[in-house]
Amino acid sequence: MSEYHEAVIIGGGPAGLTAGLYLMRAGIDTLLLEKTLPGGTPLNTDRIENYPGFPEGISGKELMDRKVKHAKAFGLPIKEFTEVESLSFEGERFIIKTSAGLFESMGVIVATGTESMKMNIPGERELAGRGISYCATCDGMFFRNLDVAVIGGGDSAIEEALSLANIVRKVYIIHRRDTLRAQKILQERAFKNNKVEFLWNKKVIEIAGRDQVEYVVVEDTHKGERSRVEVNGVFVYIGSAPNTAFLKELVKRDSAGFIITDENLATKTKGLFIAGDVRKKTLRQIATAVGDGALAAVNLEKYIFEKKP
Ligand code: NDP
């Protein structure tokens, strides 16, 4: 037995929730499937300062709680803890196989976002959860008044290093180059923060410790010299990879696995639209995810109305 809806949205981050809000307001029978709880990546962000409309900033959790509430206010049903295992298109209908059973729909919006990339170095797997984290907002408190390392030089690394600096004794930002990718405003704040020390041109090649993280081994990218940096925790922020395995051949991907869409966020499979960070795009922000969600929803709405008997 399967459950039928006109539209199914996969993923409950900013893109998926916006798509849900728009589809419900358009009178489309919609269901949103979410692997865990709705909210997506912003839940891991302590403070969001570049989402328009919040001049004083807002916590990731509060912003996403508001988006969930807003979508629900227009009746969007959200099925939590439902992981999509496969998606196929058979005889004009999508078949969505999930951990909570089968669903069918006329159209689908995939808004599954990305997940943190791993370093794949010795010690990372062994000490996971014992001093290694991919979420400063979730785990920062465990390192109060201790020393930590943040690996990476993008927005996530610098933003989260700054939020850790409010809690810990010292933050080493270990970066493989000598310039940062992060926004200038974040860079300036980090350079001024006296709890933050940059280790430039250093590659972390091992994370070590007996039961807990005790130090990382870094290698200078120019001289090849190796040294130890003693820390109690390591926060890895080296980018993210798209969650698309369940889509198989229904879409085209770029070399990093992000889904390629046209300007209407459509894919090579009719009725299948893509929104948010999982899509090949130049700017991954909550603001652009929200825009994607709205655009995908409006285009799916058109598709459904053309198809409806
Ligand atoms: P990014 O891909 O932007 O940055 C990844 C960083 O990790 C880079 O500095 C990269 O180095 C480094 N890196 C990559 N692989 C390795 C490796 N194997 N070993 C060591 N270092 C490595 O990822 P983010 O997660 O920071 O950001 C993802 C997206 O989300 C971006 O588009 C970003 O702008 C956006 N974002 C926006 C925020 C905001 O607006 N407030 C907040 C957080 C994210 P290198 O520079 O040398 O390539």
pLDDT averaged over the chain? 96
The catalytic residues are 135, 138-139
93-120 pLDDT, tens digit each: 999 999 999 999 999 999 999 999 999 9
**Residue 309, pLDDT above cutoff 80:** no
CA of 157 to the centre of ligand 1 (A): 7
* Cα–Cα dist 131/213, whole Å: 5
Entry field: residues in the chain: 309
Task: Report the share of the chain in percent with pLDDT over 70.
Answer: 100
Does residue 47's CB lie within 6 angstroms of at least one atom of ligand 1? Answer: no
Which whole number is the average pLDDT over 248-265?
96
How far is residue 82 from each of residues 11, 79, 93, 198, measured CA to CA in Å? 10, 6, 20, 41
Amino acid 286: pLDDT: 97
- Compute, in angstroms, the gap from residue 155 CA to the centroid of ligand 1: 6
Decide whether any atom of ligand 1 lies within 6 Å of the 209 Cβ: no
Q: How far does the chain reach from its first CA to its final CA, in angstroms?
A: 23
Say yes or no to pLDDT of 16 above 80.
Answer: yes
Write down the pLDDT at residue 46: 84
Is pTM beyond 0.85? Reply is: yes
Confidence band of 244 (pLDDT split at 50, 70, 90): very high
Ligand 1 atom 40 nearest Cα: 285
Ligand 1 and 13: CB distance under 6 A: no
Span 253-258, average pLDDT = 96
Would you state the pLDDT for residue 308?
A: 79
Q: Is the pLDDT of residue 150 over 80?
A: yes
Residues near 70 by Cβ (< 8 Å), separated by ≥ 6?
17, 21
CA–centroid distance, residue 241 to ligand 1 (Å): 11
Q: What digits encode the pLDDT tens for the residues 272-294?
A: 999 999 999 999 999 999 999 99
Q: Exposure string (b/e) for 225-244, b if CB count within 10 Å is 16 or more?
A: eeeebebbbbbbbbebebbb
156 lines ligand 1 (CB under 6 A): yes
Residue range 255-260: mean pLDDT, rounded = 96
Q: In what order do the strands lie in the sheet with 202-208?
A: 202-208, 215-220, 226-230
Q: Is 144 exposed, middle or buried (0-12, 13-18, 19+ CB in 10 A)?
A: exposed
Element housing 151 (H / E): strand 147-151
Amino acid (one-letter) located at 160 = E
Average pLDDT for 41-62 = 93
Residues 6+ apart with CB under 8 A from 168: 140, 143, 144, 145, 146, 147, 148, 195, 233
Spatial distance between the Cα atoms of 42 and 29, rounded to a whole number of angstroms: 27
Please state, for a pLDDT cut of 90, what percent of the chain lies above it: 95
Summarize the confidence of residues 250-269 as an average pLDDT.
97
Per-residue pLDDT averaged across 167-179, rounded? 98
d(CA 133, CA 263): 36
Q: pLDDT: is 114 or 129 the higher one?
A: 114
- Tell me if residue 216 falls in helix, strand or coil: strand
